[in-house]
Amino acid sequence: MKRFLSILLSALMLLSLTNAVATAEEAPLTVAVCIAEALGDMGFNDSSVQGLTDLEADYGVVGSYVECKSDASKYQSALVDAAEANDVVVAVGWQFWDALTAVVPQMPDTLFIFVDNGLDGLGDNLLSIVYAENEGSFLAGYLAMKTSATQTVGFVGGEDSDTINNFYVGYKQGALYANASGTVLEPVYAGDYESPDKGKELANTLYGAGADVVFAVAGKTGLGVFEAAKEQDRYAIGVDSDQKYIDPDHIICSMKKDIGGSVYSVVANYLDDGVFEGGTIWDADMSSGFVGIGYGDDTMTQQISAELKAETETLAQQIINGEIVVDSTR
């Protein structure tokens, strides 16, 4: 009897251990997105959460997000709280640089993805994604000048920074590639990513200076550029997501920087193959498919002809092949 009870107890312990291991193996990956700014921009920040939503649908990850709303005092605490509760933390925005520098080495068991800036040397648990926004902006500038009746185009940036100016230098180069005699007005900066009123004011200034196409690279502030384009019956170019749907009659195209798609790719690769390229900076250039131009869909007004779209595709391939080297601030 004692031998029987001993065998039974051992079997029950083994079964319990097996169930515990199976439960651990089946536990879903938890992913938190920390946003330096706020949702509602219909572009950069919203795209990051869309990537999370797609991961939830396709892989069953458990996702969450937090908005810091440009409050620098929240950056580090947001990362710490997220890292303590999740397997993967996605830091969306260059503003997290200092906070990541402090937090990543202290949280070696958490994987971090830094979106929109390159930070390395902190450990194998951090992967950074930088985007060749200058390459996509070259195409946006080309389309702007080709569409412009005045041969004068403008640019509204959220702030005067290397990242925003990387858009501008590519945009300017592309516009002048389309017409070397055209005019690319000096960039104007809102100093704020959350102020549509400021965006509208700056866009009206550019339209008043002769521009009839303005590239909005300013988060939610850019929505004010679209308002000005509609009121002035001029044109605008969207950014990050395909924003043409917002006003198909006045937004001719968008320079897509697929934040959500790139984050999805990194996490999916980890789930599928167990590969996380920590300690590296991933350059998401035009060849990656995460930078390009969006024209909405066929149900929307199209200001850009099929022929001009084909020209743009040729230019994109020349950039990928290295035949055209796009200016950069990096």
The pLDDT value recorded for residue 120 is 86
Residues 252 and 244: their CA atoms lie apart, in Å, by: 7
Residues 321 and 327: their CA atoms lie apart, in Å, by: 15
The arithmetic mean of pLDDT across residues 54-80, rounded, is: 96
The pLDDT value recorded for residue 12 is 42
Type of residue at 167? F
| List of E strands, 60-103 | 62-67, 88-92
The pLDDT value recorded for residue 5 is 41
Alpha helices in 179-284 (DSSP H): 196-208, 222-232, 259-273
Least confident of 18-32, 64-78, 251-265, 285-299: 18-32
pLDDT of 20 strictly over 60: no
The arithmetic mean of pLDDT across residues 118-131, rounded, is: 93
The helix/strand/coil state of 251 is: strand
Contact 174, 318 (CB under 8 A): no
Contact 118, 329 (CB under 8 A): no
Least confident of 39-53, 139-153, 315-329: 39-53
The pLDDT value recorded for residue 320 is 98
The pLDDT value recorded for residue 42 is 87
**What domains lie within the chain, and their CATH numbers?**
28-131+259-288 (3.40.50.2300), 133-257+297-321 (3.40.50.2300)
| List of E strands, 5-74 | 30-35, 62-67
Type of residue at 255? M
The pLDDT value recorded for residue 216 is 98
The arithmetic mean of pLDDT across residues 86-110, rounded, is: 96
The percentage of residues in the chain with a pLDDT greater than 90, rounded to a whole number, is 87
Least confident of 19-33, 49-63, 90-104, 259-273: 19-33
Q: Angle of helix 162-178 relative to helix 133-147, nearest 10 degrees?
A: 40
pTM equals: 0.87
Q: Rounded to 5 degrees, what are φ and ψ at 159?
A: -160, 165
The pLDDT value recorded for residue 8 is 38
Q: What share of the chain is helix, strand, coil (3-state, %, to 5)?
A: 50, 20, 30
pLDDT of 170 strictly over 80: yes
The arithmetic mean of pLDDT across residues 89-94, rounded, is: 95
Question: Which pair of structure tokens corresponds to residue 118?
Answer: 């390159």
pLDDT of 7 strictly over 50: no
The pLDDT value recorded for residue 140 is 99
The pLDDT value recorded for residue 25 is 57
The pLDDT value recorded for residue 10 is 46
The pairing of strands 280-284 and 291-294 is unpaired
CA-based nearest residue to 47, from 284, 305, 262: 262
Contact 149, 210 (CB under 8 A): no
pLDDT digits (tens, 9 = 90+) for 216-253: 999 999 999 999 999 999 999 999 999 999 999 999 99
pLDDT of 22 strictly over 80: no
How far are the Cα atoms of 36, 174, 189 from residue 323, in angstroms, in the given order?
36, 14, 32
Of the pLDDT bands very low, low, confident and very high (cuts 50, 70, 90), residue 179 is: very high
Torsion, Cα 106 109 114 119, to 10 degrees, reads 50
The pLDDT value recorded for residue 26 is 73
Residues counted in the chain: 330
pLDDT digits (tens, 9 = 90+) for 274-315: 999 999 999 999 999 999 999 999 999 999 999 999 999 999
Q: Rounded to 5 degrees, what are φ and ψ at 33?
A: -105, 120
pLDDT of 323 strictly over 90: yes
pLDDT digits (tens, 9 = 90+) for 267-278: 999 999 999 999
